[in-house]
Structures are given as structure tokens and as C-alpha cells.
Amino acid sequence: MHHFDYQNQQLHAEEVAVAAIAEAVGTPFYLYSTATLTQHFKAFDNAFGDLPHVTCFATKACSNIAILRLFASLGGGADIVSGGELFRALKAGIDPQRIVYSGVGKTEAELAAALKAGILLFNVESEQELDALARVAASLGVTAPVSFRINPDVDPKTHAYISTGLAKNKFGIAIDQALAVYQRAAAMDNIEVKGVSCHIGSQLTQVGPFVESLRKVKAFLARLAEAGIAISHLDLGGGLGITYNAEAPPHPEAYAAALKEEMAGLKCTLILEPGRVIVGNAGILVSRVLYTKTNVAKKFVIVDAGMNDLARPSLYGAYHAILPVNQQRQDKVVADVVGPICETGDFLARDAEVPACEAGDLLAVMSAGAYGFTMSSNYNSRTKVPEVLVRGDAFHVIRQRETLDDLVRGETIPEFLR
């Protein structure tokens, strides 16, 4: 469910007309609903309410500090994968003891920053990373709280680019090799082994892969216990999918029920890292039609948003519904919705049934809240778009549109070229 609907044939975000926001801030722009973000966070978090747990929002999905602050106010933490995301989480006011640090390529500078911040856990992904973390912790005179990400070799049945739990993926330590790594870490100075982490992928629409991976993790936890290694935290990652088109992912309550059944008897704090399931359908990308044209038998709707603004269709072949902001005209056409980028791969929809429209019309690209703005770029020297947050009958610009000066900030012409 989301809070984008038509009132008097005009698309609204909660109680604000989308067209009014477009008039005020220009196009394209990202638009989020506070009510939807809140509802989705609570639906997920409350599903695990009878277990000791921490809901650490996957910051990479949507990293604006206003949205992170909203989740912090609801008791949420953050799953981060870079020093920049650590900075954002802290800037948003998230308690460091509700931050977990994932990712395969943490630098020593990033490890040091997280240690100084006092985060809850490092999800370590390799032995060399463990060694680096121990060195940095020793240099700071602190102990690093560690969880190892184990790879259970489970097929998440999702797009290959967002599958992370197969043996051939770059993430984690093979589950058959992990016990020796845990034993080595347990004997190290400046390292405190606290948890086990497992994340198998994103946009999963079935409970089965989650349950299969948890069963493997449980067996591994038994091996750790036999080796005398006590675990206080179990990080099961995120990955629960949303409806973009015809998908029917499980409700968070069904997902939670399946996990809780498998976890019976385990005495540890559960860490969850939802991202898309909270923000995906809570955001849209609003764009204006520039031109329409027909080449031979192919129709094109050319809009002012491109693959640099929303990469998912070009990168994954992902589907996003495209709706008219003004619903007065009901007719549709089969067309490609394309942007201004100088690439044939620049499209928001291909051979799709979309609103029949004319230059100047506004279109809403739905379900764009996850991996939308966070994956955007300045390709073709295009300025990044604004982000806008609606609450009730008011809207707030939570990121200004970049200026042309922003494009060259940090660039210099060396003296020999002057």
C-alpha cells in the first residue's frame, strides 16, 4: 500500500497535488510519502516485535538524511556499506549502537571511523579484512565487535545482479570454511566475536530461500557452540521484495512468521536489514514529456528524466509502472519512454502500454523509492534532481536540485593549460 492516489483525476502524494510540486520545484524530481515510509517501517518492525531485534534500514536503498532521520525516530538503525553511509547515518541522528557495517571492500580509514563512532557490529567478509580490522583496532586501543558474513550457497531466485548468497558471488565466507575463521578470530586481540551474518540477495518474492539459508545458518551455529564460541547476534540481512508489476511477495508478517518458526530455541538478538520493502513503493520519479515521435512503426515518448536519474530499467531491465499525473485522458499507447541521455540504453520503459501524452504532460514513474536517487549520476553532465518529502498537506525539499556550478565543484584546470 502507498499514499499516491488520484483525487479529482489529479495524482496526489498524501494531500498534495503532484502537479503543484512540479510547478514549484521543476522536473524531474523524486517524491516520497512520509505516511508510506512510516507505515512500511512499522509493518516490518512490528512483525518481529515479540523477538529481541534491531531493524537496520539498508541505507544504500535510499540514503537521504531526512528519511534516515524519520526511521531513527521510529527506533530504526542503519545497515551501511561505506564510510559515506556511516557519515549520513550519524548525521541523521542514528544511534551508533544500531549501526551494522556490511560490504566487501572496507578501507582502513573507513574501519577506523566506524570504530571511533562505536558501531554495533562489523559484518566482516574475508580473513584479510579481519586482519585489517584487528590492526586498526589495536592502533586505536579498542576492541572491534565482529560478525562474519557467511555465504550459504542458496539460490535466492532473483536477478543475477542482486543475488548475493550463491557460492559464485563475491559476498561472504563459504559456510564450509567459516568455522576455522571464527576460531582464529576468537583467539585474536582487539577482536570480539559477537555474531553471524547472512544475506542472500534482494527483491526476493518467496519465503523459501530465506528459510533454506536460515536452516544452514542454524546448523552452523550448532558447530560454533560445539567449538565453544558463543553468539549473541544473528544478522539475517534483508531482501524482501515488493510489487513492481505482477509480483506477489509475502507480507512482512508472513516473512516474520516463517523466520520465527525456524528460530525457535535460538537465544540471540536478531538483526534485520530491510531496504526496498520499506522505501520502494514510498517514492516516485516525476518527469515531464518533452517530445513525442514515431519512427517507422515505433512510438517514442521523450521525457526529461533519463537513465542517469533512474538506472534500474537500463541496468536490470526493471519494470516501473508509468502513470499520468493528470488522469483526464484515459487512452494509452504502446511506446518506449526514453530520456535525453546519448545512449540507446536510455529508457524508462520499452514496448510498454503507457499513457497517451503530449509535450508538457507530467508522468509519474512508480515504485522508484529504492535504488532510484541513490544510483543516480551526473552522466552527460546532467545535474542531480531534487528530492521532496510530503507529509500530510505540505511538502519539503529535502535535497536541492544541483546547479551547473555543482557539476564542476572540485575540478581545476592546471597551470600549464591556462
**Has residue 301 got a pLDDT over 60?**
yes
Question: Tell me: the pLDDT tens digits for 388-406?
Answer: 999 999 999 999 999 999 9
Q: Mean pLDDT, the chain, as a whole number? A: 92
pLDDT digits (tens, 9 = 90+) for 154-179: 654 544 444 443 445 556 788 888 89
Cell numbers of 328, please?
483526464
pLDDT at 249 > cutoff 60: yes
* Rounded Cα distance, 301 and 293, in Å: 7
What confidence category does residue 261 fall into, taking pLDDT thresholds of 50, 70 and 90?
A: confident
**Which pairing describes strands 10-13 and 4-7: parallel, antiparallel, or unpaired?**
antiparallel
Catalytic residue among 62, 198, 268, 342: 342
> What pLDDT, on a 0 to 100 scale, did the predictor assign at position 199?
77
pLDDT at position 155 is 55
Tell me if residue 342 is catalytic.
yes
pLDDT of residue 247: 81
30-76 confidence digits (pLDDT tens): 999 999 999 999 999 999 998 999 999 999 999 999 999 999 999 99
Q: Of residues 177 and 107, which shows the higher confidence score?
A: 107
Q: What pLDDT shows up at residue 246?
A: 80
Q: Is the dihedral of CA 174, 162, 106, 115 positive or negative?
A: negative
The pLDDT confidence band at residue 213, using thresholds 50, 70 and 90, is confident
Percent of all residues in the chain with a pLDDT value above 90, rounded to a whole number: 76
The tens digit of pLDDT for each residue in 3-20 reads 999 999 999 999 999 999
The tens digit of pLDDT for each residue in 195-208 reads 999 877 767 777 77
Cα–Cα dist 165/162, whole Å: 9
pTM: 0.93
Amino acid 154: pLDDT: 64
- Pairing state between β 77-80 and 53-58: parallel
Whether 307 shows a pLDDT value over 90: the answer reads yes
Looking at residue 171, its pLDDT comes to 61
Strands (E), 38-143: 53-58, 77-80, 99-101, 121-124
**Cell numbers for 290:** 518533452
What is the pLDDT at residue 242?
87
Q: Return the DSSP state at 403.
A: P
Do 136 and 111 contact (CB within 8 A), yes or no? yes
Mean pLDDT to the nearest integer, 224-247: 89
| pLDDT attached to residue 162 | 40
In sequence order, the 6+-apart residues with CB closer than 8 A to the CB of 177 are: none
Domains of the chain, first to last: 4-32+280-408 (2.40.37.10), 34-279 (3.20.20.10)
Q: Which of 228-232, 257-261, 313-317, 320-324 has the lowest mean pLDDT?
A: 257-261
Lowest mean pLDDT among 95-99, 111-115, 241-245, 381-385: 241-245
Mean pLDDT in residue range 405-409: 97
